[in-house]
Structure 1
Amino acid sequence: MVWNVHGTGSKNKISAIKEVVRTYKPTVLALVKTHMGGDHAVKLGSILGYSGHLRVNVIGFSGGIWVYWNTDIVNVTPVYEHQQFLTIESSKNGDFNNTRSLSERHGGDSNMAIRCESFNNWIKNCELIELAFTGPSHTWARGNSIETRQSARLDRALCNSD
């Protein structure tokens, strides 16, 4: 997600950024035209819960680019930095946390069917097959009540079909 925030110094702006992150949960978040210096960038990243951070510092009170990401989900590497732009390379880490069908999951987001289809297409395109499985139908769970309980079958073994 890229957001031209036009400043990050006010409490209202920080609250708005926190709300966007809470609602949309972007894996990578780029804030442009922050108009603030580096110490504020580090503090905001911590408040938002991001473990990775890059920035192009402001010139006076002009510009500023801050990029945040979750290091457990993606790797982000700077390629080129300029005072007005930042080129990065990103790649998803190998922990998919995806299921092959809706029956393999309880709880989750509304895009689950699309994610299942995408995961199945990836398996097919890589010409992989799934090894037989015995055990509990869901191998991961969290939540302390029926309302917050989520579970899924995340453990699986895939191998080359050759």
Structure 2
Amino acid sequence: MNIIIWNCRGVLKPSFKKRVGDLVQNHNPAILVVMETRVGGDKAREITNLLPFDGAIHTNTIGYAGGLWVLWNTDRVEIALLSKTEQEIHTEVKVRLTNLSWILSAVYASPRNAERQVLWENLMSVADLHNMPWVIAGDFNEPLLSEDKFGGRAVSVNRSLLFKECLDKCNMLDIGFAGPRFTWSNRREVQALIQERIDRFFVNPSWCVMYPNAKITHLTRCHSDHCPVLLEMQPRIQNGRSRPFRF
């Protein structure tokens, strides 16, 4: 089973529907998390009704900013909403063929630092409420390490430490990735180029036990300045991979 997360930078662009169709055709995700949709309410439901998924959860936008959707195929997974805010959607996922269950927290962290701190606090609170296998995935809008950024200002040590504290409290692991290092680019000429790895999957140890061969791939950037990120729980080709990294 596959999951894709993608910051699409707006779903009203003409190429959005076609790009989602391409992702579905090429990677067959059971779950698609779409971030920074900039659309909520009835318009969001109108758009997701046209996509190849029959389950959907939407968050409210903040004016014309933000927006987070979790889309899925009900014949492959059963998803129950646990809670949501403008920056997060917490769900319980039951995989129909295997009868396995785990928590999926989809996030779109605010570009504003103060609001991101609220998200970190919320995630740490969720960690105290369950002991299930857990995936946290989305656009965190914060590089975690200095090597997660190229160009521009250096990564803020204070902000990255707060991010790491959240991941430690949630007992999260980074299981590595294949493909280009950075998931976002400002697409400028090299003198002004900034790139960051901010679109990510994190998993806890009990989720790793269920899916020991899981693989993450940064896909080709298209339509947006963010690339889609693919999680394959049972990849078809098993490549050598490093051990999970704990923060």
TM-score normalised by the shorter chain: which range applies? 0.5 to 0.7
| Counterpart-to-counterpart distance in 2, 1:18 and 1:3 | 13
Higher relative contact order (CA 8 A, sep 6+): 2
Residues 39-85 of structure 1: per-residue CA shift (max 9 Å, x gap): 33323333222111111021211111111111111011111211111
Which of 7, 28, 32 is the equivalent residue of 2:31?
A: 28
1:23 shift after superposition: 1.5
Q: CA deviation at 1:95?
A: 7.1
Q: Secondary structure of 1:11's match?
A: coil
Structure 1 residue runs without a partner (length 5+):
97-109, 115-162
**TM-score using structure 2 length:** 0.37
1:37 to 40, 65, 69: 40
User: Rg bigger for which structure?
Assistant: 1
Partner of 1:73: 76
Distance (Å, rounded) in 2 between the aligned partners of 1:73 and 1:59? 32
Matches within 5 A, 1:69-108: 69-94=72-97
The gaps in structure 2 that reach 5 residues or longer are 100-234, 239-247
Fraction of identical pairs, as percent: 27
In 2, Cα distance between the equivalents of 1:44 and 1:25? 20
Partner of 1:104: none
Aligned residues: 100
Q: Please state if 1:57 is matched with 2:60.
A: yes
Query: Could you tell me which residue of structure 1 aligns to residue 161 of structure 2?
Result: none
Structure 2 Cα separation of the partners of residues 31 and 46 of structure 1: 14
The answer (yes or no) to whether the contact 1:33–1:64 under 8 Å persists in 2 is: yes
Runs of 4+ in 1 over 3 A off after TM superposition: none
CA distances 1:96-119 after superposition (whole Å, capped 9, x unpaired)? 9xxxxxxxxxxxxx93x88xxxxx
**Which residue pairs with 1:7 in the alignment?**
10
The whole-number CA distance in structure 2 between the counterparts of 1:57 and 1:41 is 9
Do the aligned partners of 1:56 and 1:66 also contact (CA within 8 Å) in 2?
Answer: yes
